[in-house]
Amino acid sequence: MNTSLFSEIELAPADPILGLTEAYNKDPNPAKVNLGVGVYQDETGKVPLLDVVRECALKWVQMETTKGYLPIDGIPAYTKGIQSLLFGDDSEVISEGRAVTIQALGGTGGLKVGADFIRKFFHQSEVWISDPSWENHRALFESAGFKVNSYPYYDASSHGLNFSHMIKALNSLPNDSVVVLHACCHNPTGVDPTEEQWEVIADLFAHSSRKLIPFIDFAYQGFSQGTEQDAYSVRLFAKKGIPCLIANSFSKSFSLYRERVGGLTILTSSAEESRNVLSQLKRVVRTNYSNPSSHGAQVVAMILGDPALRARWETELAGMRERIRKMRKLFVQGLKEAGVKGDFGFITNQNGMFSFTGLSSDQVDKLRDEYSIYMVRSSRICVAAMNEKNVGYICNAIAATMK
Ligand code: LMR
C-alpha cells in the first residue's frame, strides 16, 4: 500500500479572523451578520469601491503601457506617497533621507518583511505585543522565528488603557526587545494612548539604554480623527529621531483590501544607514516574493500625488469614519433599548472599526450558533459592518444571549 507523503499532516485550525468569513459565507441564514473581519461596509452592507478609486483605476488601465516587473522595493511615487502620509510633506526625516520605504503586500506584508529583516540582524531579540493584540501578530512574529511575549495594555474594568502597567513592563524589557505598538485605532480594543501618553512612550524608547526596537503597526490611518491627527504617534517618533519600523496599510483607508496595498518604512539615523537598510530589505523581498504587484499601488500613487484627487479621497474617507461613529451611537442606544444591563457608553469612546464588548467566549459562540452573528472570540466586534438595518437584530441577539 502506498503511504502518502502528507499522511502525517494534521488539520490546522481555521484562522481566528478570516476563518470566520469562511464560516459566514457558508451560513444559509439570510439574517447573518459578519462582525468578525475588520472590513468597512457601507449602509447597504457592501464593501464600497470609492468613487475616486474607481475613476483612477479605469484611468490607469488606459494609461498603462507595459506589464514588466516593478522594482523590488516598489513604485517610487507610491513609496513617496506613503512617506508623505506618514510624516507630512515637510518632514525632516524625508528631506534628510532618514526614512526608507518599500511597497508591501498589505500591512501584513509590511509586518512580515520587517519581522524577517529584524530576525536576520537581531537574532537574540524577542517580540512583545500588547495584551490583547491583533490575532495575527503573535502568529506572524512566531512564523518569523521569534519568541512572542505580551505587555499589559487593556484594563477591562475601566475599558481603558492600563498605562502605568504598560510603562512599567516596557521599562523592564531585555535589550533589543521588539515592541509592537499600534499607531491608532488599537486592534482589537479601540483604546489608544492620549498625546501625553505617547510622549511618555516615545521618551521611553528615546532614552532607553536597552536599544528597544519599536515596530509600529499603522493599519487604520484616517479612521480615528483624520489622516493628519492619526499620524501623531508616528510623527512624534520621527521628530524625536527614534529609529523604528512602521508597517502601514491602505486596505481600509482606500477600501482596496484585495489589492494588497501597504508598505514598510524604517526610520534610520542617516542617509547612509538608509541605503544599507534598503539594500537588505530588498534581499528579504527578493527571497520571499521577488517584487510587488502593480495595479492597486498605481491607483494609490495617482491619488496621493494629485492634491485634488487626494482631497476627494480624504472626503470619502471621512464619510466612512463618520458613519462608523454614528453606528457606535446607534449600537449603544440599541443595546439599551433591548434591555441590556450595564453602561456600554465606552463603545462611543473607542477609536476605529472595532469595539471590544467584553462578551464571554460562550456568548460569542451562542451568537454565532443561534443568530448567525459572527465575531472574534476575544469579543471584538467590527462596528464598521453594522448598519441601520442590522443593528436592531444584533442588539436584540446580544440582549437574549446575555440573559
Ligand atoms: C482584522 O483585524 O480583522 C483585519 O486587520 C483583517 C485581518 O487581516 O485580520
Each residue's pLDDT expressed in tens, for the chain with a length of 403 residues: 667 999 999 999 999 999 999 999 999 999 999 999 999 999 999 999 999 999 999 999 999 999 999 999 999 999 999 999 999 999 999 999 999 999 999 999 999 999 999 999 999 999 999 999 999 999 999 999 999 999 999 999 999 999 999 999 999 999 999 999 999 999 999 999 999 999 999 999 998 888 899 999 999 999 999 999 999 999 999 999 999 999 999 999 999 999 999 999 999 999 999 999 999 999 999 999 999 999 999 999 999 999 999 999 999 999 999 999 999 999 999 999 999 988 899 999 999 999 988 899 999 999 999 999 999 999 999 999 999 999 999 999 999 998 8
Long-range CB pairs of 9-13 (<8 Å, 24+ gap) are none
Does the C-beta of 136 come closer than 6 Å to ligand 1? yes
Ligand 1 mean position, distance from CA 95 (Å) = 33
Residue 192 contacts by C-beta under 8 Å, 6 or more apart in sequence? 161, 182, 184, 185, 186, 224, 351
Query: Is any ligand 1 atom within 6 A of the Cβ of residue 17?
Result: yes
**Amino acid code (one letter) for 331:** F
Verify whether ligand 1 is closer than 6 Å to residue 331 (CB atom).
no
From the number of C-beta atoms within 10 Å of its C-beta (0-12, 13-18, 19+), residue 1 rates as exposed
DSSP 251: T
Q: What is the pLDDT of residue 261?
A: 98
Across the strands, what pairs with 160?
155
3-class DSSP string for the chain: CCCCCCCCCCCCCCCCCHHHHHHHHHCCCCCCEECCCCCCCCCCCCCCCCHHHHHHHHHHHHHCCCCCCCCCCCCHHHHHHHHHHHHCCCCHHHHCCCEEEEEEEHHHHHHHHHHHHHHHHCCCCCEEEEECCCHHHHHHHHHCCCCEEEEECEECCCCEECHHHHHHHHCCCCCCCEEEEECCCCCCCCCCCCHHHHHHHHHHHHHCCCCCEEEEEECCCCCCCCHHHHCHHHHHHHHCCCCEEEEEECCCCCCCHHHCEEEEEEECCCHHHHHHHHHHHHHHHHHHCCCCCCHHHHHHHHHHCCHHHHHHHHHHHHHHHHHHHHHHHHHHHHHHHCCCCCCCCHHHHCCCCEEECCCCHHHHHHHHHHHCEECCCCCEEEHHHCCCCCHHHHHHHHHHHHC
At residue 242, the pLDDT reads 96
DSSP H helices in 147-249: 163-170, 195-207, 227-230, 232-239
Best of 15, 20, 37 to mutate for ligand 1, by most ligand atoms within 8 A of CB? Answer: 37
Pick the closest to residue 148 from 158, 165, 163, 135 (CA basis).
135
**Predicted TM-score (pTM) above 0.85:** yes
Report which ligand 1 atom has the smallest distance to the Cα of 219: 5
Q: What is the pLDDT of residue 343?
A: 87
Tell me which residue has its CA closest to atom 6 in ligand 1: 38
Question: Best of 35, 105, 134 to mutate for ligand 1, by most ligand atoms within 8 A of CB?
Answer: 134
User: Which pLDDT belongs to residue 49?
Assistant: 98
**Ligand 1 atom closest to 106 (CA):** 8
Indicate the DSSP class of residue 36. Answer: S
Given this model, what pLDDT does residue 209 score?
A: 81
- 387 Cα–ligand 1 center, Å: 20
CA 17 to centroid of ligand 1, rounded, Å? 7
Average pLDDT score, the chain: 96
User: Among 15, 20, 24, 136, which is best to mutate for testing ligand 1, by the most ligand atoms less than 8 A from CB?
Assistant: 136
Please give the pLDDT value at position 342: 86
For 99-113, write each residue's pLDDT tens digit: 999 999 999 999 999
Backbone angles phi, psi at 392, to 5 degrees: -65, -45
Q: Are 204 and 170 in contact (CB under 8 A)?
A: yes
| Cell matching residue 109 | 506584508
Q: How far, in Å, is the centroid of ligand 1 from the Cα of 259? A: 14
Q: Please tell me the predicted confidence (pLDDT) of residue 86.
A: 98
Q: Helix or strand or coil: residue 72?
A: coil
Supply the residues annotated as catalytic.
134, 217, 252
Distance CA 100, CA 107 (A): 16
